[in-house]
């Protein structure tokens, strides 16, 4: 059943129920009142009839006494006079009471059917009579019980009066028994008193009330359910996505206020959806930029900047900061920031100077515990000032070490923090969830960049010695030659080769040879500056690049490296293995116009040092020999002859090789 049907039924029950009950009550009340009135009428009529009958009996007794008191000769005349005056319908003068029984019997028979007022015998009656005795003579005055007599009684009592014997009462009746002073048994009848009009009017009234109730109920149900129907229709349209739907407001009642509230809610929802759509489109743009950045570059600073700006746009924050953990120092190093104020309003290049200890303050606690934090009020310590903040850890992605094993515990790489929502208000759970998502992206980015750097390092380094390999040598040499050419500087290239390394492998084994190579690489790194770069070109041959170094400086480094190698043998499993190195030195641009030429010149100088007996160095011959005609073999380590080195420098004297 619909709501309208239920409302109609409820209204009809509420309205027609009392109407029907009232009608029944009225009908019962009317019937009861009618019966009570009829009973009262019959009681009154019975009393009146008895009184009338008693009066008639007294009148007859008076007539009989009047005849009895006169002279016997005058009695007939007096009797006729009384009859003429209507005091009796018949007066009979009989024999005296002492008369024989036959005479009394005849007298009784003569007055048969008369009822004596003093001692009625009951049964059918044609008259009522009263007797008097005078001188032994019965004088009987009688009143005929005829239609006129009953009419007078009915007029006096207000009811129909009939003898009880042989009467058939129709309607309400009352029996009056025969007794002294009441010689007749009478039936008093009142016609049925039924309020026919009332009984006919009540159903009509009920029907009219029912029809009116139905019409009113339908109108009320319609007027009540129509706004609800409009509201349900509008709700369906809104659920289907039509946010322009509005509910008409018919009346300013509760349903009207409900419609107005629904319209206001729809408008606010429409505005929210529009804002959400715009935010979604903006977020899609930022995510597209983020995806493009992640896929096109391994520049960690640029990636973190894009992630931070995307997080700011997604949460409506005013400022943000990305910090990464420096495990060696146990500190948080700021990498990029947006919208920071006060002491933190510095370029990204200066942010790393403002380091924060791990475990101290809000950011340090997030980095130490790996638990996000948000709150109000400026964090204590040297952290950025703000009104509200939210900070989440940047964690490395969970990767299982072996297939089928659960992922290892994540490593906290840093902290992503946002400050002060635009428009006020603290950060909520939705902002925290959003920031966790971007922190996850930052963790993946940092992890990927580090993995890429590690993979690149592994692809460009020698796994045994940890030095750069030949692949990286070519790129580095080309880059350093271009830099030296651009700034008008010099570049020294040293090619080193361990002497008699094959004998080491043959005598002590390849494991000892690997140990010798590792120790040799370590001594090379120790003897170089931070800007110098060492490479393992292959086997026992190594290359060292000395930026901004001329031939004299290259010779000094060669001398120092040779002394570091020969000065202390390598101890492998208790065996002392002496080693020495031969070095070829070449300088750009004296010994080559490009990186291959410079490297080839250094190789030729190396072979010159080996031909000179090893454990020494040689300087390569210039490409354009204009100031000296000596060959590379003349540039021996001891420099016995006066040899001029390009640039006018003379290297120190070196011991001849073994």
Averages of pLDDT over each 10 residues, the chain, 658 residues: 70 75 78 83 88 90 90 89 90 56 35 79 82 87 87 83 64 80 83 68 80 80 77 85 83 81 87 79 69 68 86 88 90 90 84 88 90 83 86 80 58 91 84 87 82 76 88 91 93 95 91 92 91 91 94 94 92 90 95 93 95 94 53 36 34 32
Q: Is 0.85 topped by the overall pTM? A: no
Domain boundaries, the chain: 27-190, 297-400+409-452, 461-634
Q: Return the CATH number of the domain spanning residue range 461-634.
A: 3.30.70.270
Quick one: pLDDT at residue 431? 87
The secondary structure element, H or E, covering residue 323 is: strand 317-326
Burial class (CB in 10 A: 0-12, 13-18, 19+), 422: exposed
Quick one: pLDDT at residue 193? 63
Helices 300-315, 429-460: crossing angle, 10 deg rounding: 170
- SS3 for 161? strand
Quick one: pLDDT at residue 102? 32
Length of the chain: 658
Is the four-CA dihedral 195, 200, 205, 210 of positive or negative sign?
positive
Quick one: pLDDT at residue 480? 94
Quick one: pLDDT at residue 346? 86
Residue pair 377/427 in contact (Cβ under 8 Å)? The answer is: no
- SS3 for 320? strand
Q: List 543's β-bridge partners, or say none.
A: 495, 535
Distance in angstroms (rounded) separating the CA atoms of residues 514 and 507: 13
Q: Which residues contact 322 (CB under 8 A, 6 or more apart)?
A: 304, 307, 308, 334, 335, 336, 337, 394, 414, 415, 416, 417, 442
The secondary structure element, H or E, covering residue 338 is: strand 331-338
Percent of the chain with pLDDT over 70: 84
Residue pair 167/187 in contact (Cβ under 8 Å)? The answer is: yes
**Preceding peptide of 243 cis, ω within 30°:** no
Could you tell me the fold of the domain covering 297-400+409-452?
Answer: Beta-Lactamase (3.30.450)
Residue pair 395/440 in contact (Cβ under 8 Å)? The answer is: yes
């Amino acid at each position: 059943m619909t709501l309208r049907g239920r409302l109609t039924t409820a209204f009809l029950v509420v309205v027609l129920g009392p109407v029907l009950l009232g009608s029944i009550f009225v009908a019962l009340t009317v019937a009861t009142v009618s019966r009570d009135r009829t009973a009262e009428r019959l009681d009154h009529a019975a009393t009146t009839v008895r009184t009338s009958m008693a009066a008639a009996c007294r009148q007859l007794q008076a007539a009989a006494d009047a005849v009895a008191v006169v002279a016997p000769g005058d009695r007939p005349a007096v009797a006729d006079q009384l009859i003429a005056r209507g005091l009796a319908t018949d007066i009979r003068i009989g024999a005296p009471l002492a008369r024989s029984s036959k005479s009394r019997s005849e007298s009784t028979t003569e007055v048969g059917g008369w009822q004596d007022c003093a001692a009625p015998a009951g049964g059918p009656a044609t008259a009522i009579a009263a007797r008097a005795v005078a001188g032994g003579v019965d004088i009987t005055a009688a009143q005929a019980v005829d239609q006129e007599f009953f009419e007078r009684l009915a007029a006096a009592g207000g009811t129909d009066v009939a003898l009880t014997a042989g009467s058939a009462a129709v309607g309400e009746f009352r029996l009056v028994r025969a007794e002294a002073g009441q010689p007749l048994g009478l039936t008093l009848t009142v016609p049925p008193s039924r309020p026919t009009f009332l009984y006919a009017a009540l159903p009509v009234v009920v029907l009219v009330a029912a029809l009116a109730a139905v019409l009113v109920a339908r109108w009320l149900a319609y007027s009540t359910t129509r706004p609800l129907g409009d509201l349900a229709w509008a709700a369906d349209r809104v659920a289907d996505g039509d946010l322009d739907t509005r509910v008409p407001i018919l009346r300013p009642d509760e349903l009207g206020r409900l419609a107005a509230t629904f319209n206001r809610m729809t408008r606010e929802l429409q505005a929210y959806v529009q804002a959400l759509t715009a935010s979604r489109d903006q977020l899609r743009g930022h995510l597209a930029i983020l995806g493009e950045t992640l896929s096109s570059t391994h520049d960690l600073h640029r990636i973190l900047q894009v992630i931070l700006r995307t997080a700011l746009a997604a949460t409506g924050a005013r400022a943000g900061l990305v910090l990464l953990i420096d495990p060696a120092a146990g500190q948080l190093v700021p990498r990029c920031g947006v919208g920071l104020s006060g002491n933190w309003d510095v370029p990204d290049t200066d942010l790393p100077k403002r380091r924060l200890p791990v475990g101290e303050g809000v950011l340090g606690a997030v980095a130490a515990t790996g638990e996000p934090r948000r709150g109000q009020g400026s964090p204590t310590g040297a952290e950025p000032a703000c009104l509200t903040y939210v900070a989440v850890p940047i964690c490395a992605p969970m990767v299982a070490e072996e297939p089928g094993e659960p992922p290892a515990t994540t490593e906290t790489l840093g902290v992503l923090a946002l400050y002060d929502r635009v428009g006020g208000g603290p950060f909520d759970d939705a902002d925290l969830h959003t920031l966790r998502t971007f922190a996850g992206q930052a963790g993946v980015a940092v992890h990927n960049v580090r993995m890429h750097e590690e993979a690149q390092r592994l692809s460009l380094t020698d796994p045994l010695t940890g030095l750069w390999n030949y692949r990286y040598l070519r790129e580095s040499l080309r880059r350093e030659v271009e830099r030296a050419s651009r700034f008008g500087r010099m570049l020294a290239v040293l090619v080193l080769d361990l002497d008699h390394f094959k004998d080491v492998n043959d005598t002590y084994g390849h494991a000892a040879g690997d140990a010798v190579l590792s120790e040799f690489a370590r001594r090379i790194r120790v003897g170089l500056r931070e800007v110098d770069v060492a490479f393992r070109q292959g086997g026992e041959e190594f290359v060292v690049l000395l930026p901004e170094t001329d031939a004299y400086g290259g010779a000094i480094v060669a001398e120092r490296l040779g002394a570091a190698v020969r000065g202390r043998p390598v101890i492998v499993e208790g065996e002392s293995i002496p080693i020495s190195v031969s070095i070829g030195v070449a300088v750009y641009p004296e010994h080559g116009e490009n990186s291959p030429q410079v490297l080839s010149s250094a190789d030729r100088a190396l072979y010159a040092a080996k031909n000179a007996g090893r454990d020494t160095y040689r300087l390569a011959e210039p490409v354009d020999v204009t100031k000296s005609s000596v060959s590379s073999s003349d540039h021996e380590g001891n420099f016995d002859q006066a040899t001029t080195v390009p640039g006018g420098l003379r290297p120190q004297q070196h011991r001849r090789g073994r």
